[in-house]
């Protein structure tokens, strides 16, 4: 859907100095009642009141459409001034984006959490401005765990034992493993990290078929999937949204989730707990973090006006307001400190604690979009009835190396 932010300018004569900035943004709401349109409308009203002569038009699209919409606009030669989307590296590599230092004041740029700033860089130059962040923790249903007489797991073997106990009590999805095409890249990365490796090696090259990664997926197949502990839906066909919905219905014992699942589960009366993702022999060394990005396009040349607007967007007040509205983590140090000190945000504290040591998708690689799409379509086969983790991860590695070479 397309919506337009408040357009009423305040003060100052109309003339050649008047500028209208165009922003395309993603919708974080679950319905029209909490659409991001409302957030941007309020923010734009406040900004325009303080900056006569600058107006901001905001178009909000669903996450299913927003990246495609921006791509089409750029291809047609009509890039927006700013786009709040899921990736930035392609546009940066093509020379279409302002660098962060071009469109942010020094104090605002310095306020970003360092791990997020680093993830926004291409060739050590920051182009992606982190806009929202989240981490993943293991959610478990306290009621089902009590009925099975078990406690939250801290190791893989404990997780498997808990899943067996839940299955014995008739739980539909002892551990929900969503490796379907919606967001398989997230579940995959979480498990690879908990197994001690990940998508990249220490030199920044793709690393899908490492010994540790193959061992991780072999364990998933042998100890969870083949033993019927992941529920009636084949992991390759289970999407994250469906797994979350099943959790809110009380049908899931455990699954990896992000902060927004808390509100959805609580609304349905599900009593749940959250713990760090178990590792092979104890707590995983790192969890998965996710960031969404603000970008500023060079095409229209509104650098100074964009800086004014983005400095306003990234004020502590506005960052906190957005994070609280959508159960996300603040991307600035000042807002994180305010959230950590506020009792009203206590439920987000466990997720916030994981952020400094989290690992994000390799979004600085221009090949990541293609590689991520390949993961979504292929990785579920690794744990299928006739699946071979080594073969599937090996194929993903070959495709990733090819994509990386083409992008480079």
Read off the pLDDT of each residue in 133-148 and give the average, rounded to a whole number: 97
Q: In the structure, what pLDDT confidence band is assigned to residue 58 with cuts at 50, 70 and 90? A: very high
Share of the chain above pLDDT 70, in %: 96
Read off the pLDDT of each residue in 212-231 and give the average, rounded to a whole number: 98
Q: What is the pLDDT of residue 16?
A: 53
Q: In the structure, what pLDDT confidence band is assigned to residue 11 with cuts at 50, 70 and 90? A: very low
Whether the pLDDT of residue 277 is over 50: the answer is: yes
Q: What is the pLDDT of residue 142?
A: 98
Whether the pLDDT of residue 67 is over 70: the answer is: yes
Whether the pLDDT of residue 399 is over 50: the answer is: yes
Q: What is the pLDDT of residue 283?
A: 81
Q: What is the pLDDT of residue 3?
A: 33
Read off the pLDDT of each residue in 26-39 and give the average, rounded to a whole number: 86
Domains of the chain: 19-132+291-349 (3.40.190.10), 137-286+367-407 (3.40.190.10)
Q: What is the pLDDT of residue 408?
A: 55
Q: What is the pLDDT of residue 14?
A: 41
Q: Would you call 204 exposed, middle or buried from its count of C-beta atoms within 10 A (0-12, 13-18, 19+)?
A: exposed
Whether the pLDDT of residue 2 is over 70: the answer is: no
Read off the pLDDT of each residue in 107-128 and give the average, rounded to a whole number: 93
Mean pLDDT, the chain, as a whole number?
Answer: 92
For 123-138, how does the pLDDT look when each residue is reduced to its tens digit (9 = 90+)?
899 999 999 999 999 9
Q: In the structure, what pLDDT confidence band is assigned to residue 229 with cuts at 50, 70 and 90? A: very high
Q: What is the pLDDT of residue 333?
A: 96
Lowest-confidence pick of 30-34, 151-155, 234-238, 252-256: 30-34
Whether the pLDDT of residue 1 is over 50: the answer is: no
Whether the pLDDT of residue 31 is over 90: the answer is: no
Read off the pLDDT of each residue in 224-233 and give the average, rounded to a whole number: 97
For 168-206, how does the pLDDT look when each residue is reduced to its tens digit (9 = 90+)?
999 999 999 999 998 899 999 999 999 999 999 988 899
Residues 6+ away with beta carbon under 8 Å from 388: 382
Q: What is the pLDDT of residue 219?
A: 98
Q: In the structure, what pLDDT confidence band is assigned to residue 6 with cuts at 50, 70 and 90? A: very low
Read off the pLDDT of each residue in 263-292 and give the average, rounded to a whole number: 92
Whether the pLDDT of residue 57 is over 60: the answer is: yes
């Amino acid at each position: 859907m397309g919506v337009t932010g408040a357009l009423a300018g305040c003060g100052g004569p109309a003339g050649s100095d008047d500028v209208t900035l165009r922003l395309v943004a993603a919708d974080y709401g679950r319905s029209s009642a909490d659409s991001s349109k409302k957030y941007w409308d309020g923010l734009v009203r406040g900004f325009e009141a303080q900056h006569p002569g600058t107006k901001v038009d905001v178009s909000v699209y669903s996450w299913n459409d927003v990246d495609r919409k921006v791509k089409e606009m750029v291809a047609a030669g009509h890039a927006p001034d700013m786009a709040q989307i899921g990736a930035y590296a392609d546009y940066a590599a093509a020379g279409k984006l302002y660098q962060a230092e071009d469109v942010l004041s020094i104090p605002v740029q310095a306020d970003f959490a360092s791990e997020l700033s680093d993830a926004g860089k291409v060739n050590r130059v920051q182009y992606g401005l982190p806009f929202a962040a989240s981490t993943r923790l293991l959610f478990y249903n306290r009621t089902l765990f009590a009925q099975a007489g078990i406690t939250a797991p801290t190791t893989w073997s404990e997780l498997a034992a808990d899943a067996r106990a839940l299955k014995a009590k008739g739980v539909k999805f002892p551990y929900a493993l969503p490796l379907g095409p919606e967001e398989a890249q997230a579940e995959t990365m979480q498990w690879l990290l908990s197994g001690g490796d990940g998508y990249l090696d220490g030199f920044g090259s793709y690393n899908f078929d490492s010994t540790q990664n193959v061992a991780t997926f072999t364990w998933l197949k042998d100890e969870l999937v083949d033993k019927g502990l992941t529920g009636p839906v084949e992991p390759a066909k289970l999407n994250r949204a469906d797994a979350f919905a099943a959790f809110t219905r009380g049908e899931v014992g455990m699954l990896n989730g992000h902060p927004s699942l808390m509100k959805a589960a609580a609304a349905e009366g599900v009593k749940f707990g959250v713990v760090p993702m178990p590792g092979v022999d104890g707590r995983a060394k790192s969890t998965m973090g996710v960031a969404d990005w603000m970008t500023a396009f060079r095409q229209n040349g509104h650098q100074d006006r964009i800086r004014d607007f983005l400095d306003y967007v990234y004020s502590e007040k506005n960052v906190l307001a957005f994070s609280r509205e959508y159960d996300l983590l603040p991307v600035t140090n000042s807002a994180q400190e305010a959230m950590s000190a506020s009792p009203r945000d206590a439920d987000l504290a466990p997720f916030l604690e994981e952020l400094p040591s989290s690992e994000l998708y390799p979004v600085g690689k221009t090949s990541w979009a293609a590689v991520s799409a390949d993961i979504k379509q292929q990785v579920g086969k690794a744990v299928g009835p006739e699946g071979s983790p080594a073969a599937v991860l090996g194929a993903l590695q070959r495709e990733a190396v090819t994509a990386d070479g083409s992008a480079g």
